């Protein structure tokens, strides 16, 4: 589990948890293993299929929907969930932060929490070349880019959002911001960024 998410998910038993664009599903399955009533949404039918296999392997029941959080279907109840949680690697694939935040706000009950841990925008554009830190693009260049995340993977559209864009989208959706943290995770699987922040955490409340 993403390290900054863990304190907010220590006691999910009996909670109604919404996971928008669940990706690899690790946080979703962790919550379900700890007794949460979990609904996961993802755009990809392949991710849905893999999540079905993973949930069966883990011995948990998870309600899975193939959908876009920017355009949620009617079967997702409004004013219902206690927690919405998004793990790393989500917001770069979202074309409209306003639509995403607004829909997450709608499905949470009053007092419900939004918890987002994602890659820091500076980390996304940083790269190391011959021991020197450079940037692949301007922090303010927000036009969508065609990217190929891995070899033999089809190209995809990626968006670069500034940290202020993410915070302001949450505010426009009428969330109350509880905290924003920037932090560094040192792992061999990640590029060295000379102690630029690698990740951020946003916690907000529907009020």
**pLDDT for the residue numbered 193:** 60
pTM, two decimal places: 0.91
* Contact criterion met (CB below 8 Å) for 97 and 169: yes
How far is it, in rounded angstroms, from Cα 171 to Cα 166?
9
Determine what percent of the chain is predicted with pLDDT higher than 90: 64
**pLDDT for the residue numbered 10:** 86
How far is it, in rounded angstroms, from Cα 177 to Cα 188?
32
**Domain boundary assignment for the chain:** 6-206
- Among 40-44, 136-140, 165-169, 183-187, the range scoring the smallest mean pLDDT is 183-187
**pLDDT for the residue numbered 149:** 65
**pLDDT for the residue numbered 181:** 95
Q: Is the pLDDT of residue 151 over 80?
A: no
**pLDDT for the residue numbered 196:** 84
Determine what percent of the chain is predicted with pLDDT higher than 70: 95
**pLDDT for the residue numbered 88:** 82
Which tens digits make up the pLDDT trace of 78-111?
999 999 999 888 999 999 999 999 999 999 999 9
Q: Is the pLDDT of residue 147 over 60?
A: yes
Pairing state of beta strands 63-66 and 175-183? unpaired
Pairing state of beta strands 145-147 and 156-158? antiparallel
**pLDDT for the residue numbered 192:** 63
Which tens digits make up the pLDDT trace of 158-169?
899 999 999 999
Q: Is the pLDDT of residue 188 over 50?
A: no
The two three-digit tokens of residue 156, written as one number: 């995809």
Beta pairing partners, 182: 200
Q: What's the maximum distance between 2 C-alpha atoms anywhere in the chain?
A: 52
Residue predicted with more confidence, 31 or 133: 31
The fold for domain 6-206 equals: Rossmann fold (3.40.50)
């Amino acid at each position: 589990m993403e390290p900054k998410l863990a304190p907010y998910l220590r006691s999910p038993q009996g909670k109604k948890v919404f996971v928008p664009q669940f990706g690899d599903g690790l946080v979703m399955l962790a919550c379900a293993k700890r007794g949460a009533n979990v609904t996961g949404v993802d755009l990809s039918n392949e991710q849905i299929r893999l999540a079905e296999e993973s949930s069966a392997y883990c011995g948990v029941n998870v309600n899975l929907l193939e959908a876009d959080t920017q355009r949620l279907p009617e079967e997702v109840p409004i004013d219902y969930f206690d927690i919405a949680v998004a793990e790393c690697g989500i917001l770069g694939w979202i074309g409209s932060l306003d639509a995403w935040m607004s829909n997450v706000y709608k499905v949470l009950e009053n007092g419900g929490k939004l918890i987002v841990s994602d890659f820091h925008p500076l980390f996304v554009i940083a790269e190391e070349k011959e021991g020197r830190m450079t940037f692949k693009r301007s922090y303010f260049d927000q036009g969508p880019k065609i990217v190929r995340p891995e070899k033999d993977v089809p190209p995809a559209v990626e968006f670069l959002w500034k940290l202020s864009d993410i915070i302001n989208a949450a505010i426009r959706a009428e969330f109350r911001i509880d905290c924003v943290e920037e932090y560094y995770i040192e792992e061999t699987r990640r590029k060295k960024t000379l102690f630029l922040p690698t990740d951020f955490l946003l916690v907000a409340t529907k009020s």
